[in-house]
């Protein structure tokens, strides 16, 4: 794969930066070399990589490497480079963005954190093993609602979450979505289904379809060409959308590091983007999972940088108030910490030790940090080959965004040395932090 990176100095000279990106950007040849080496490492190649670093509230580095699209046909066309504005399906970092939209509804008095969600959804949401206990938004946002993903977490348009969660209903099955040993508020288990409920609840209290609601609440006020519905992305954004790849067939676990890159999702050049199947049967407020509040946001590293700067600026963007500082303080206050014994939650092999409302937290202590010296909050993502990191230190106003468009080998076979991340993720974060944040004094 050819190297398609662009230096930041060149971008600055072209005058391409939007408001909010007017910081002093300089070339970082050391990080350029290191990141390029990671992307092309024969032990584990990366299809594409987009990164952004913020120091003291200013963008100091952003770059793209590798290819956002690779033609594997018999007579392949030239690959298309990843760049600073390339959009990715960012997987579970979407949960944190969804939460920001929800917090706007909380500010508006539409919902409350500790009210029974049944009151908003219009049907009883109860774990049948603990029927006397209400489930609240706080439980959903902290993965302590006693929900599990074992029964699935994405359901076709036209179906309802009431049918999924109600005992005896059409889609209830064996009730695998309910924990039978720990009730609401007792135990942390990472659960995607909870965000399907959150998105549906947001629709129910506003009367707006989830993807368009998130546009109104957050994405448009921030001036972002991004969205939870690939079919409604503007043409320029769609043309710069990354296809996610693995050197693994889509329906098996067979990897071939020496084989071709295989598209997993968002190959819009092979197939025109479309709305979720069955959208004509979609009923607002019954099942938002077709738009994937849990993982379906398409956005660029630069777009996430805009969002990160808003958080660092206490909820302000370009002079406009998006969220109140008190709301952000509430959202990022720690709600749960692993006890180290497995009694109060499942860390998923060390990925999750501390949690706020819809955000993971990475204190600068051994075994819990992303990079030594970096105390952060944010979210991680992993789906369809994509690996993503959104992490920022609100006090020092430092932050890093990493979007990887796929790997040539199973990341589980390339484990990190000091964390639950893949080794290539550790290397990227360490290089970014050392050269663009810590090195500046």
- Name the residue among 393, 329, 341, 395 with its Cα closest to residue 362: 393
Distance CA 68, CA 48 (A): 6
Mean pLDDT, range 111-139, rounded to an integer: 98
- Name the residue among 322, 297, 317, 321 with its Cα closest to residue 390: 297
Three-state SS for the chain is: CCCCCCCHHHHHHCCCCCCCCCCCCCCCHHHHHHHHHHHCCCCCCECEEEEEEEECCEEEEEEEEEEEECCCCCCCCCCEECCCCCEEECCCHHHHHHHHHHHHHHHCCCCCCCCECHHHHCCCCCCCCCCCCCCEHHHHHCCCCCECCCCCCCCCECECHHHHHCCCCCCCCCCCCECCCCCCCCCECCCCHHHHHHHHHHHHHHCCCHHHHHHHHHHCCCCCCCECCHHHCCHHHHHCECCEEECECCCCCCECCCCCCEEEECCCCCCCCCCCCCHHHCCCCCCCHHHCCCCCCEEEHHHHHHHHHHHHCCCEECCEECCCHHHHHHHHCCCEECCCCCCCECCCCCCCCEECCCCEEECCCCCCCCECCECEEEEEEEECCEEEEEEEECCCCEEEEEEECCECCCHHHCECCCCCCEHHHHHHHHHHHHHHHHHHC
What's the confidence (pLDDT) of residue 27?
A: 73
Match 């709301």 to its residue by tokens.
Answer: 327
Q: Which two tokens stand for residue 402?
A: 């990493």
Phi then psi for 39, rounded to 5 degrees? -60, -40
- Name the residue among 59, 58, 61, 67 with its Cα closest to residue 86: 67
Mean pLDDT, range 361-371, rounded to an integer: 96
Query: What is the distance, to the nearest Å, from the Cα of residue 275 to the centroid of all Cα atoms in its chain?
Result: 20
310-357: pLDDT as tens digits:
999 999 999 999 999 999 999 999 999 999 999 999 999 999 999 999
Phi then psi for 330, rounded to 5 degrees? -65, -45
Taking residue 175's Cβ as centre, other Cβ atoms within 10 Å add up to: 17
pLDDT above 90 for 218:
yes
pLDDT above 60 for 228:
yes
Where residue 14 falls among pLDDT bands split at 50, 70, 90? Answer: very low
* Percent of the chain's residues with pLDDT above 90: 90
pLDDT above 70 for 16:
no
Average per-residue pLDDT for the chain = 93
Distance CA 233, CA 291 (A): 13
What's the confidence (pLDDT) of residue 441?
A: 52
What's the confidence (pLDDT) of residue 283?
A: 98
Q: Are 229 and 221 a contacting pair, CB within 8 Å?
A: no
Distance CA 120, CA 202 (A): 9
Sign of the Cα torsion 54, 60, 66, 68 reads positive
What's the confidence (pLDDT) of residue 25?
A: 60
Go through the domains of the chain in sequence order and give each one's CATH number.
8-88+228-277+294-440 (3.40.710), 99-215 (3.40.710.10)
Distance CA 418, CA 206 (A): 44
Mean pLDDT, range 5-12, rounded to an integer: 32
């Amino acid at each position: 794969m050819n190297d398609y990176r662009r230096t930041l100095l060149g971008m600055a000279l072209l005058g391409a930066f939007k408001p909010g990106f007017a910081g002093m950007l300089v070339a970082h040849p050391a990080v350029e070399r290191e990141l390029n080496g990671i992307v092309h490492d024969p032990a584990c190649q990366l299809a594409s990589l987009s990164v952004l670093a913020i120091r003291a509230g200013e963008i100091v580095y952003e770059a793209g490497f590798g290819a956002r699209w690779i033609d594997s046909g018999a007579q392949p066309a030239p690959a298309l480079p990843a760049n600073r504005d390339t959009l990715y399906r960012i997987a579970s970092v979407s949960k944190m963005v969804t939460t920001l939209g929800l917090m706007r509804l909380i500010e508006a008095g539409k919902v409350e954190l500790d009210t029974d969600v049944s009151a908003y959804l219009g049907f009883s949401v109860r774990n049948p093993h603990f029927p006397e206990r209400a489930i609240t938004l706080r439980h959903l946002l902290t993965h302590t609602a006693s929900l599990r993903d074992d029964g699935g977490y994405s359901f076709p348009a036209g179906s309802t979450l009431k049918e999924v969660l109600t005992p005896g209903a059409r889609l209830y099955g064996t009730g695998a979505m309910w924990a039978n040993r720990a009730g609401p508020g007792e135990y942390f288990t990472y659960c995607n289904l909870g965000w399907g409920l959150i998105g549906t609840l947001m629709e129910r209290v506003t009367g707006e379809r989830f993807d368009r609601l998130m546009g109104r609440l957050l994405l448009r006020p921030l001036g972002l060409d991004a969205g939870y519905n690939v079919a409604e992305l503007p043409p320029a954004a769609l043309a710069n959308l990354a296809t996610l790849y693995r050197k693994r067939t889509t329906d098996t676990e067979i990897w071939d590091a020496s084989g071709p890159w295989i598209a997993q999702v968002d190959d819009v050049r092979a197939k025109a983007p479309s709305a979720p199947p069955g959208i004509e049967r979609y009923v607002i407020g019954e099942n938002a999972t077709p738009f994937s509040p849990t993982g379906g946001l398409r956005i660029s590293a630069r777009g996430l940088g805009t969002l990160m700067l808003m958080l660092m600026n206490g909820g302000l963007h370009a002079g406009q108030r998006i969220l109140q500082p008190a709301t952000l303080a509430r959202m990022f206050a720690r709600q749960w910490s692993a006890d180290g014994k497995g009694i109060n939650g499942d860390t998923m092999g060390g990925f999750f030790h501390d949690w706020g409302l819809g955000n993971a937290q990475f204190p600068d202590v051994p075994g819990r940090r992303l990079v030594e010296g970096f105390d952060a909050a944010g979210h991680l993502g992993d789906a369809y080959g994509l690996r993503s990191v959104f992490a920022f230190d609100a006090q020092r106003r430092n932050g890093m965004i990493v979007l990887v468009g796929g790997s040539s080998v199973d990341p589980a076979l390339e484990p990190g040395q000091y964390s639950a991340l893949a080794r290539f993720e550790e290397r990227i974060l360490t290089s970014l932090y050392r050269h663009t944040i810590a090195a500046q004094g």
